[in-house]
Amino acid sequence: TAGILVPVTFFVTGTFLFVTKWLILCRLCKVEAAMTFQEIILNLQKFWSDQGCIVQNPYDIEKGAGTMNPATFLHAIGPEPWAVCYVEPSRRPADGRYGDNPNRLFQHHQFQVIVKPSPDNIQEL
């Protein structure tokens, strides 16, 4: 099976990346390779661009989630078709200040994809 093999939390709306290198099985290119954070982002941008998405720059302000990007909020609620992908940094200072868990982070990155209306083959994508 293809997928991410090391520490990652995967959500339908994107991937929260906690480390800079991972071992990934790429089901599209059929190779197993260690990829850097930048390579992961570039591959995701290329894939979604090939699906017809606009690759947008992030909107980096202090917020709780990538869904607060204007590309998500303003275009997702309107009636027009919209296809966009972007890496959204989320800075959450309150989460990084307290607790003993070493996995508490001040900032994480979410790869956000919005395709409206949903394509018929959304499960295959």
pLDDT tens, 85-106?
888 887 766 655 666 666 666 6
Residue 62 has what DSSP assignment?
A: B
Name the H helices within the chain: 37-50, 70-76, 93-97
Beta strand pairing call for 3-4 and 21-26: antiparallel
Options 3.20.20.150, 3.30.230.70, 3.30.930.10, 3.40.50.720; CATH for 37-116 is 3.30.930.10
Q: What are the structural domain ranges in the chain?
A: 37-116
Matching residue, tokens 């590309």: 71
Maximum Cα–Cα distance for the chain, whole Å?
Answer: 46
Average pLDDT over residues 97-124: 75
Query: Of the ranges 30-39, 85-94, 115-124, which one carries the lowest mean pLDDT score?
Result: 30-39
Between 21 and 61, whose confidence is greater? 61
Closest CA to 15 of 69, 83, 90: 90
